[in-house]
Amino acid sequence: MAAIVWRVENAWSVWQNTRSKQMSVAVLVSGGVDSSVALHRTVSAFGPERVHAYYLKIWLEDDVSFLGSCPWEDDIACARAVCDGFGVALHTVSLQREYYERVVAYALDELRAGRTPSPDIFCNRRIKFGAFWDALGDSIDSIATGHYAQTRRAEGGVELLRAPDPVKDQTYFLSHLSQEQARVAFFPIGSMKKAEVRAEARRLELPNRDRPDSQGICFLGRLRYPDFVRAYLGEREGAIVERESGSRLGTHRGAWFYTIGQRQGLGLGNGPWYVVEKHMDENVVFVSHQRNDHDRMVSEYDVEHAHWILRPPKGADLDVKLRHGPDLVTSRVTLLPGDTARVELSRPDGGVAPGQFTVFYDGDVCLGGATIADIRRGEGV
């Protein structure tokens, strides 16, 4: 119980001028273990009378039901069973239209352009702490989720901190929160490791304690990613070409199905093969046996649409994440005019491509993120 009290006291430093007896907290539940344990900890801290549980219905089953079943019925049944056990009412909020307009449309535009979207980043900013918060209005003081992240009040504003579990840390996906959103965010399991969350779920005998974690993009549910892409973008046959020799190795059904660095699903023998380049106009996918050869390594690139939770100095040595996961790369980051910046990596990377996100860290503090624009290959290697 002491750990819960510490987190609540930490939250009070973020939620200014609000007394605990007046707090009203919305907890987003998904039917999974993480959000269920987060709900338990929120109820333990505030009492069930101050807690309201919400399930966000954002699945696209109405549009692509012909592709297979979506799990929202199972999810909401699990979520309701957990809420009933804690004496908390469960409300379902449908945000399918908002999700399509604010997240899915962006993902499809990026795929058409040959880039790699990260819709979960925009789901958090535009839906969970965006459209959902707008729908609640003044009735809620805070939004609690099962994310692995932490917040802390600092001199310059609210800091978003990495979780102690480096594999599960989700600050990458929260990197576009605004200061206002960070002020109302509450992450009850953010200081825990995944194994601890599972152990607490079993100790509490939650009905979903052994339910597997969800994987992949949030709006897909059980839908396969290629099926989703096919439903919205269709198919267009093109060539798979070995980059070094120019030899045609096979055919594909659309360059938008592939991402840079992809290894699976190419249907080629004599592997392994990696996707190293795409020409969208010609609908050509280039592959190579070498995932990180000299010509493909990136040591410097520019970013655009930079979003800062806390703005760094104009020139600073920061850590960056090039993708969700535990890996950080020390880099020199120079702010440029407007919302652009230049990133010089201390360790070149072969999986950098325009459209992907870079997330910036000062120690454990997530400062924000930006979209990769222009890249420079083979420099400094």
- pLDDT band (50, 70, 90) for residue 155: confident
> What's phi and psi for 65, nearest 5 deg?
-60, -25
Q: For residue 73, what pLDDT is reported?
A: 78
Distance in angstroms (rounded) separating the CA atoms of residues 281 and 113: 9
Domain ranges of the chain: 2-203, 235-288, 297-377
Taking residues 190-199, report their average pLDDT.
Answer: 96
Q: Is the pLDDT of residue 185 over 90?
A: yes
- 60-69, 118-127, 232-241, 350-359: least confident range: 60-69
Query: Is the CATH number of domain 2-203 3.40.50.620?
Result: yes
Q: In this predicted model, what pLDDT tens digit does every residue of 304-354 receive, in sequence order?
A: 999 999 999 999 999 999 999 999 999 999 999 999 999 999 999 887 888
In terms of C-beta density within 10 A (0-12 exposed, 13-18 middle, 19 or more buried), how is residue 212 classed? exposed
How far is C-alpha 313 from the chain's CA centre?
Answer: 26
Q: In this predicted model, what pLDDT tens digit does every residue of 57-71 receive, in sequence order?
A: 886 655 555 455 555
- Contact 217/57 with Cβ under 8 angstroms? no
Q: For residue 371, what pLDDT is reported?
A: 95
Assigned CATH topology for domain 235-288:
SH3 type barrels. (2.30.30)
Residues 6+ apart with CB under 8 A from 209: 33, 198, 201, 202
For helices 194-203 and 33-46, give the axis angle rounded to 10 degrees: 70
CATH architecture classification, 297-377? Beta Barrel (2.40)
Q: For residue 225, what pLDDT is reported?
A: 77
> Which residue has tokens 């307009």?
101
Q: In this predicted model, what pLDDT tens digit does every residue of 272-298 receive, in sequence order?
A: 999 988 999 999 999 998 866 555 688
pLDDT averaged over the chain? 86
Q: Is the pLDDT of residue 9 over 50?
A: no
Q: For residue 14, what pLDDT is reported?
A: 38
Q: For residue 117, what pLDDT is reported?
A: 84
Is the bond leading into 272 cis (omega within 30 degrees of zero)? yes
Helix (H, G, I), strand (E, B) or coil at 218: coil
How far is C-alpha 375 from the chain's CA centre?
Answer: 23
Percent of the chain with pLDDT over 90: 66
pTM: 0.86
Q: For residue 154, what pLDDT is reported?
A: 87
- Contact 360/368 with Cβ under 8 angstroms? yes
**Strand runs labelled E in the chain:** 25-28, 51-57, 90-94, 142-144, 149-154, 157-162, 185-186, 238-242, 248-252, 274-279, 284-288, 298-308, 315-321, 329-335, 341-349, 357-362, 365-377
CB atoms within 10 A of CB 209: 17
Taking residues 201-229, report their average pLDDT.
Answer: 79
List the catalytic residues. 123, 218
How far is C-alpha 332 from the chain's CA centre?
Answer: 24
Q: Is the pLDDT of residue 30 over 70?
A: yes
Q: Is the pLDDT of residue 374 over 80?
A: yes
